[in-house]
Structures are given as C-alpha cells and as structure tokens.
Amino acid sequence: AAGAIPRSPAFDETLSLLREGYGFLPRRFADLDTPIFRTRLMLRDVICMTGPAAAKLVYDDARLTRVGAMPQTVLRLLQDKGSVQQLDGPAHRHRKAMFVRMLMEDKGGLERLVAIFRRCFLERVPEWMRWGAVQLGAEMDIILFRTALAWTQAPLDADEVEADATLMADMVENAGHVRPRTLGTLMRRSALERRLRAKFRDIRRGRLVPMPDSPLAMLAGYRDAHGELLSPRVAAVELINLLRPIVAIGRYIVFAALRLERHPQWREILAEPDPERLSGFVEEVRRISPFFPFVGAVARAPFTWNGHRIRRGQWLLLDLYGNCHDEAVFREPDAFRPTRGLRHHETDYSFIPQGAGSASRGHRCPGEMATVEIMKEAVRLLTGTITYSVPEQDLSVSLLTVPTGPKEGFIITDVAWRA
Ligand code: HEM
C-alpha cells in the first residue's frame, strides 16, 4: 500500500548491527530494494533511510531533534548532554553560531590551527627518526591533541597530554561498542569534565584569564539568546567538543596515508604542489573511508514525508556511509578516484561524511573545513617533507567494526627528512 514502509523481517536487529557494522544499513536497503525500511534496534522502533531526499529531511527539517536520537553511552562519549547538538531551533542556531565563527568564518583562526598542527607534527619527526617503527595513528592522536590544546588554549596540564590524548581517541573508539572499556572511558571522561569545569569557574572568578579571541575565551564569554553565560559544565562539554573531534581527524590522516600506500602514483602526483589535486585527494579519502556510519534524529511532531506517515517520537536513522557509496551518484563507488572533483557543499546531499545541509542552520558538522585543511597539511607533510617506508603489516580495514581503521594502526619505519 502507498505509504507502507517495508519492514526488515527480524524482531530486533541490535546484534546484527553490532556484527555487520558499516554494511548493516546498505545491505538491507539492497536486499529489501528500498531506500527506507523499518526495524527494531535496542527494542526501539526505528525507520532507516538513505538517499539525498532522506538526507535533506534529517538535516533540514525543523520538526526533528537530536534529543533521544542516540543511545546514552554514545551521547555521553561524543556530543554529551547540554551540547549544541542537543539544542533545537533558535537556541541551537545561536550556540552553533559560536562554532561556525571559530571554525568556519574566522579564516585567521583556521590558518592558525593548521600552522599549529604543522609545528606539532614537525616537532615529532626527530623522535620518529630515532625510533625503529612509528605507529602513525597513535602519533596523530598526540600531535592533534597538542594542536587542539594550543589552538583552543584549553587549560590542561602539559604532563598529562599523553593520557588525555588517549582519552580523546578512546571516546571515539568506544562509542560504537558496549563493553567494559566503554564504562572506563566514560569515567575518565567525567573526571576530565570535572577538571575543565573547575577551570571555567576559575575564569568566572577572575583567577584565570583566557587569551583574548581564543576558543577558550569565546566559550567562557559566550552568552545565549537570553544573555546568560554557559554553565561551567556546559562550557566544559563544548570545549571537549572541540578537543575530541580535532583528535579524531587522525583517523582520516591514517586513511590518507593508507591511500598513498595503495595508490603510489598519487604520492608522485601530490609531491608537486597543486591545490586542486590535493583537495580532490583528501575529499575522496573522506568519501570512501568509513567513519560515522549514520546519524539519528527523532520527530518532534507528527508529519507526512514522501507519502509516509511519521509519528511524533519516531526514531530515524540516516545512512551516511551508504550515501557516500551510492552507485547512483558515484560511479564505481568502491574505486578510489581523487579525480572525481569532490568538494563538500551545502547543496550536495550525497557526499556527506560529516553531515549534510547548512552548518549554521542545521546539525551539519562545523569542523569540516578544519578537517579538510588539516588533512591537506598532513598529506603535504607526508609527501613533501618526510620520507618513510611502510613495512609488511596487515593494512586491511574491516567494515564490521565501528569505528575502524587498518588493523595495526599504520606502522611506518625509516623516517627521514626529504632531501
Ligand atoms: C557534528 C562528523 C570533525 C565538531 C558532526 C556530525 C557528523 C560529524 C556526522 C553531525 C551529527 C548530527 O547530524 O547529529 C565528523 C567527522 C569528523 C568531524 C567524521 C572528522 C574528524 C569535527 C571537528 C570539530 C567537530 C574537527 C570541531 C573542532 C562538531 C560539532 C558538531 C558536529 C560541534 C555538532 C553540530 C550540531 O549539532 O549542530 N560531526 N566531525 N567535528 N561536529 Fe563533527
């Protein structure tokens, strides 16, 4: 019947989702031959969707909210309660404007972020030259965390950098799982939140003065639409929402290094500075590499969409990974082709690894430009500034676990300055 949403036959598919990872949604859209189906996850009724029209719905419709759209553990490890992602309407736009200003509009701030990353990367190279083998993924966590601290001016102790960098990476690593480590990471995160909350209280009391115009100063001085300052708890949560995802860019840098290894002609091509090719390369890395499998939303009001009745409180999932691999949009989606000329854009509802639509009006990631610029700098450094070897190792990337990456984190040896 018109409007009936096909149902996946199993009673509850939570275990299948955990088992099948990135392939869970795409496989069912293919098997049921539909861009929309209904199933149950964690015993909750959910409508799963793919395709540009669905992306438009999930990113542009004011009748949807992110509140209640993710399991508690995922929410607490990633965006957290009280964060911008949990706001709607005018309150969301007002808070989001702060992120958009610091991460998109302030070009000087973005340039500073990339310059800091470059410096933190170069500082580490002499150590790599002394070591036999370097685990690129773990090194990126540290380099990017130092970058994030220097850029935001987050008041955290330098002697805890390695532990805190690991915590940032663990939040992302464990968000896709429910296992003992998830609980431990949640507890370490709470401790970090407490430390940062105390710092924001110190700022309020004038005992700590943030560097003017730094993200720390912007967070501390931000006033909502009613003129209220953020509570120290929410300010701490939002600061972590800058630190954690900057560290997460390391996952894409590892995927970029993996592509340089698998497609050595691109190492040659990129050794010659060419902004178009470099941008095409990193955008194709973001398209093809698995990261966020999907995002969730919940209907705040009943409505009809494409002939389907959506009830109030309905849980929706949008397949991000599948959209980036849609063969109706990307020819041979599993082929790595930096010449596709991809460039993320608010009117493109298919190339959406970091969400779709407008970053200022909707929930699209405000850190996309920062991600792309840091990835470009990393590729410039890996192709133009240092040389290295990639020894025998298992470089396969399983699509069954979320998040994922090469099994051994990408090990390099024989690091040297390029002559
Ligand atoms: C939102 C992915 C990097 C800050 C999002 C969303 C996705 C995403 C898919 C949308 C969530 C939703 O629709 O509910 C990624 C990926 C990144 C990345 C794959 C690569 C590392 C960053 C960076 C920052 C950042 C570098 C900041 C420094 C945020 C914030 C939101 C967000 C604050 C919430 C926006 C809102 O709800 O309005 N990200 N992100 N992300 N991202 Fe990112």
Q: What is the pLDDT of residue 178?
A: 76
Q: Is the pLDDT of residue 1 over 50?
A: no
- As a whole number of angstroms, the distance between CA 34 and CA 37 comes to 7
Choice from 365, 377, 404 to test ligand 1 binding pocket (greatest atom count within 8 A of CB): 365
User: Which of these, 111, 335, 125, 99, lies nearest to 218 by C-alpha position?
Assistant: 99
Q: Which atom of ligand 1 is nearest to the CA of 96?
A: 38
- As a whole number of angstroms, the distance between CA 131 and CA 150 comes to 26
Confirm or reject: Cβ of 151 under 6 Å from ligand 1.
no
> Ligand 1: distance of its center to the CA of 250 in Å?
14
Q: Which atom of ligand 1 is nearest to the CA of 58?
A: 13
User: Which of these, 365, 360, 405, 110, lies nearest to 241 by C-alpha position?
Assistant: 365
Confirm or reject: Cβ of 257 under 6 Å from ligand 1.
no
Q: Is the pLDDT of residue 281 over 80?
A: yes
User: Which of these, 346, 351, 375, 350, lies nearest to 363 by C-alpha position?
Assistant: 346
Confirm or reject: Cβ of 292 under 6 Å from ligand 1.
yes
Q: What is the pLDDT of residue 3?
A: 72
Q: What is the pLDDT of residue 73?
A: 87
What percentage of residues in the chain have a pLDDT greater than 90? 93
Enumerate residues 6+ apart whose C-beta is below 8 A from 265: none
Neighbours of 399 (CB within 10 A): 15
Q: How many Cα neighbours within 13 Å face the side chain of 372? A: 22
- As a whole number of angstroms, the distance between CA 279 and CA 254 comes to 16
Confirm or reject: Cβ of 85 under 6 Å from ligand 1.
yes
Q: Is the pLDDT of residue 232 over 50?
A: yes
Mean pLDDT of 209-235: 96
From the CA atom positions of the chain, what is the Rg in Å? 21
Q: Rounded mean pLDDT of the chain? A: 96
Q: Which atom of ligand 1 is nearest to the CA of 370?
A: 26
- As a whole number of angstroms, the distance between CA 171 and CA 66 comes to 19
Residue nearest to atom 13 of ligand 1 (CA): 363
Residue nearest to atom 39 of ligand 1 (CA): 365
DSSP letters, 187-256, are HHHHHHHHHHHHHHHHHHTTSS-PPTTSHHHHHHH-B-TTSPBPPHHHHHHHHHHHHHHHHHHHHHHHHH
Mean pLDDT of 45-73: 96
Q: What is the pLDDT of residue 180?
A: 84
> Ligand 1: distance of its center to the CA of 365 in Å?
4
Neighbours of 256 (CB within 10 A): 24
Contact yes or no for 170/188 (Cβ under 8 A): yes
Residue nearest to atom 34 of ligand 1 (CA): 85
DSSP H helices in 85-214: 89-100, 107-130, 136-152, 161-175, 180-204
Confirm or reject: Cβ of 290 under 6 Å from ligand 1.
no
Q: What is the pLDDT of residue 154?
A: 97
Confirm or reject: Cβ of 317 under 6 Å from ligand 1.
no
pLDDT digits (tens, 9 = 90+) for 153-181: 999 988 899 999 999 999 999 987 778 88
Q: Looking at beta carbons, which pairs linking 250-253 to residues 24 or more positions away fall under 8 Å?
A: 250/137, 250/140, 250/141, 250/143, 250/144, 250/169, 251/137, 251/172, 251/289, 251/291, 251/403, 251/405, 252/282, 252/285, 252/286, 252/289, 252/291, 252/371, 252/375, 253/136, 253/140, 253/374, 253/375, 253/378
Confidence of residue 302 (pLDDT cuts 50, 70, 90): very high
Confirm or reject: Cβ of 291 under 6 Å from ligand 1.
yes
Mean pLDDT of 359-372: 98
Confirm or reject: Cβ of 353 under 6 Å from ligand 1.
yes
State whether CATH 2.30.130.60 applies to domain 14-417.
Answer: no
Q: Looking at beta carbons, which pairs linking 116-125 to residues 24 or more positions away fall under 8 Å?
A: 116/147, 116/150, 116/151, 117/143, 117/144, 117/147, 117/374, 117/377, 117/378, 118/377, 118/381, 120/144, 120/146, 120/147, 120/150, 121/377, 121/378, 121/381, 122/381, 122/385, 125/386, 125/415, 125/417
Confirm or reject: Cβ of 363 under 6 Å from ligand 1.
yes
Q: What is the pLDDT of residue 2?
A: 55
Confirm or reject: Cβ of 96 under 6 Å from ligand 1.
yes
pLDDT digits (tens, 9 = 90+) for 314-358: 999 999 999 999 999 999 999 999 999 999 999 999 999 999 999
Give the domain ranges of the chain: 14-417
Confidence of residue 39 (pLDDT cuts 50, 70, 90): very high
